[in-house]
Amino acid sequence: MGVKYQLAQTMDDDLVGQKQEAFERLSEAWHEAIGDGIEPDIMAHVALFTALSDLVETYGEPAVAEFAERLASRIHGGEFTIPAVVN
């Protein structure tokens, strides 16, 4: 199905660069909001809601639901765990 492919994009150099830029911008806004007193778990819930809403608008509910079903195994697999930095 074409929608599945779009949600699981291949990582060419341009896409990698865009994702890095987006991560840096979101991280900056995230840290600024936390510095202003917004709790990290509130930021996380709002970020997830915003991201899922945007994906539903772009790809539709069935494709996003299928994408979300795969998140548990990706989380358990450590895909979203950022390694601790030891100084």
CB 74, CB 80: distance < 8 Å: yes
| pLDDT (tens digit per residue) in 16-44 | 889 999 999 999 999 999 999 999 999 99
Quick one: how far is CA 68 from the chain centroid?
11
Phi/psi zone of residue 21: left (φ > 0), alpha (ψ -120 to 50 degrees), beta? alpha
Mind listing the pLDDT tens digit for each residue in 39-71? 999 999 999 999 999 999 999 999 999 999 999
Structure-token pair, residue 9: 């994009």
Domain boundaries of the chain, sorted by first residue: 2-76
pLDDT value of residue 86: 79
φ and ψ of 58, to 5 deg: -80, -45
Percent of the chain with pLDDT over 70: 87
